[in-house]
Amino acid sequence: MKYIESLVDRLTMYQTVIYSLLAIMVYMFLLSFLGNEYLGFRPIELLVSLCIILIVGLATHTICVKALKAPNNFQSSLISLLILFLIVAPSTKIENLYFIATTAVLTIVLKYLLMARGRHIFNPVAIAIFLIAFLGYFGAEWWIGTRYAAPIVLLAGLFVAIKLRKMQLLLFFVLLSTFLTTLYIVLFGNTPLSREAIAYEIFDNVYRHLFSYPTLFFAFFMLTEPNGFPGTKKEQYVYTTIIALFFSVPFNIAGLIHSTPELALLIGNMYATIRDRKARFTLSFQDKKSVAKDIVEYTFRSTQPIVFTEGQYMEWTLPYEYPDERGIKRVFTISSCTEKDRSTHTISFAIKHLAQQSSFKNSLEHMKVGDTMYAGYLGGDFVLPQETPASIVFLAGGIGITPFVSMLRKKIQDKKHIPYTLIYCCNTKEDVAFRDVLENAQALGLRLIYVFSREDSAALARDSHEYAGYLHKDILLSYIKEPEQSHLFYVSGPSLFVDHTKKVLQESAVPEKAIVTDYFTGLA
C-alpha cells in the first residue's frame, strides 16, 4: 500500500484518473476481442463510438474555451468523455452514433454553462445522459457494470481512492448501497419465506450489485468528482448517504422519472450545491516572496471576500498556454489568515520550486502584478477545534508547515497567547520556512523544536531545541509528558513523513483519535 501511495503521489489527481480510465478502456477492448460471451459489443463498435465521442467532444471543448474565454482545462473534459464512453452503449448504427455525438456535445457544453457561483452544479456526464434519456432519445446502459469488467474497475479504482485518500468513504458507499438494495429485496421482493431462499436471494443480490451493476465504477469514478464533492468530512458522508439511498432503492415518478445511477448523482449534486455555498474566485496576482530555500509564497487579491478556516485548502487554476500533462490545476493549503470577520480579500499559498518542475510552476514564477488566477473548492478538516484541549502539538514536515503558518498568523493577528508546541522537521536550517512568523509566534508563547535530517549534530547549538536526524519517540517525550492524556497532535507533510510521525506517536501511546493528519498528495 505504501508503495502504491508513493507511486500515485507522483501524479496529479487528473493524471491518476485519466490513466486509470485508459487502463479500463484497454481491458474492455481486449474483452471485446474475446467474443460476445464476455462483452456484448464488437471491437469496431467500441472503436467507432470512442472516436466519435473524443472528436466531437474535444472539438466542442475547444470551441467553448475560445467562445467563453474560459481556462483550458483539457484534462477535465477528457475525463468526462472517457467516462461517457464507458457508460453509453457503443454502436455503429448511424442513428445511435448521432445521439452518442449529441450526448458528448451536451456533456462539454453543460460543463461550461451550467454553473453557479463559478462552480459546477451537476456532474456534466450525469446531467447530459439524464436529459437525453428524459427526452426519450437515448439512454445510458452503464455497460461497464459487468462481472468481467469488475476486476479492472476495482484495481484501477483503488488507485483513484488511494490518491484522493477517500478509501473509507468509498467503502462506506459500497457497503451502504449494498445493504440498502439487499434490504429492499428482502422487504419488498417476491422471495419465498424459507430461510434458504432468503439467504440465496441475499447472496445473489449482493453479487449482482457489486459485479453486475456499475456500483464500483460509479463509486470510484463519479462519486469522487471534485467539483460536486463537499469540502468537509461530515458533509461528504451526508452527501454519500443521500446518493447511496437513491442509487439503491428503485422508484418511479408518473412514468417520467425513474431511479438511475445518474439521477442519484444529480440529487447528491443538488444537495451539495445548496449546502456548500463556496464560490469560485477570480484572483489578481499581487506579490511573491521567498520564505526559505526554494520555497516561495504567492499572494493574490480577490474582488470578493473569501471565507475560510485556517488550515483549509483550495483548488487553484492558472490559465496559460501549452500546459504539460500535469494540467493547469493544483490543490494548495492556504498560508494566509482571515480578518476579524473570518473573511479576507487577500489570500496566499506557498510552494517549493525545483530544478525540474512542471509548466504550472514555471508559469507561476513568471506571473506579473495584475495577472489572473482562479481559486475554488475550499475544503479540509485540518482545523483547530472549537474547544481547546489541554495541549495542542503541531508536527510539520517540510512544506507541511503551511497550514500551521495560517493558524499561527491568525493568533498573531489577534494578539492571542499561543500555548502550542511545534516540532518542525526539515532537511537543513536553510529549509526552515516562515522564520518571521515562527519568531513572532514564539514571542506569544509557541514552543518550537527543530529536527534536521541532514544537519550534523556538532553544528547544532548545545542546550538548544534542535536535533539532528529524524523525529523519534525520545524527542517527543522530552517535551510532551503523558502524550496519551488530553492532547491533540496535528501532523502535516508528505505522506512518508505523516506515516513515520504517526508511527512515532503510536509508539508513544498516543490514541488514534488524538491524531489529526493532513497529507500532501502529489507534486506540482
The domains of the chain are located at 166-276, 281-379, 391-520
Say whether 391-520 and 281-379 share the same fold.
no
Q: Any idea which of 17-21, 188-192, 505-509 has the lowest mean pLDDT?
A: 188-192
Q: Report d(CA 133, CA 342) in Å as an integer.
A: 45
pLDDT at 333: 94
Residue 522's pLDDT band (boundaries 50, 70, 90)?
Answer: low
CATH H-level, domain 281-379: superfamily:
Translation factors (2.40.30.10)
pLDDT at 1: 64
* Selection from 110, 385, 166, 116 nearest residue 276 by Cα: 116
Region of 105 please: left (phi>0), alpha (psi -120 to 50) or beta.
alpha
Res 120 pLDDT > 80: no
Give me the residue label for grid cell 487502463. Answer: 23
Q: Report d(CA 24, CA 30) in Å as an integer.
A: 10
CA 369 to mean position of chain CA atoms = 30
CA distances from 479 to 205, 215, 422, 476 (A): 55, 49, 10, 6
Q: Report d(CA 98, CA 101) in Å as an integer.
A: 5
* Selection from 172, 182, 184, 186 nearest residue 244 by Cα: 172
Q: Report d(CA 131, CA 107) in Å as an integer.
A: 10
pLDDT at 116: 62
Q: What percent of the chain has pLDDT over 90?
A: 59
DSSP 39-80: -SS-HHHHHHHHHHHHHHHHHHHHHHHHHHT----HHHHHHH
Res 386 pLDDT > 90: no
pLDDT mean across residues, the chain: 88
Cell reading at 500: 513515520
Res 138 pLDDT > 70: no
Residue 494's pLDDT band (boundaries 50, 70, 90)?
Answer: confident
Burial-class residue 139 by CB neighbours within 10 Å (0-12, 13-18, 19+): middle
Q: Which residues contact 463 (CB under 8 A, 6 or more apart)?
A: none
Q: 313-317 and 447-452 as β-strands: parallel, antiparallel, unpaired?
A: unpaired
Res 191 pLDDT > 80: no
Cell reading at 143: 455497460
Q: Residue ranges of the alpha helices (H) in 417-507? A: 435-443, 473-479, 495-507
Query: Please, what is the Cα angle at 305 between 304 and 308, to 5 degrees?
Result: 135
Q: Any idea which of 64-73, 374-383, 413-422, 457-466 has the lowest mean pLDDT?
A: 457-466
**What is the fold of 391-520?**
Rossmann fold (3.40.50)
Mean pLDDT (whole number) for 471-493: 89
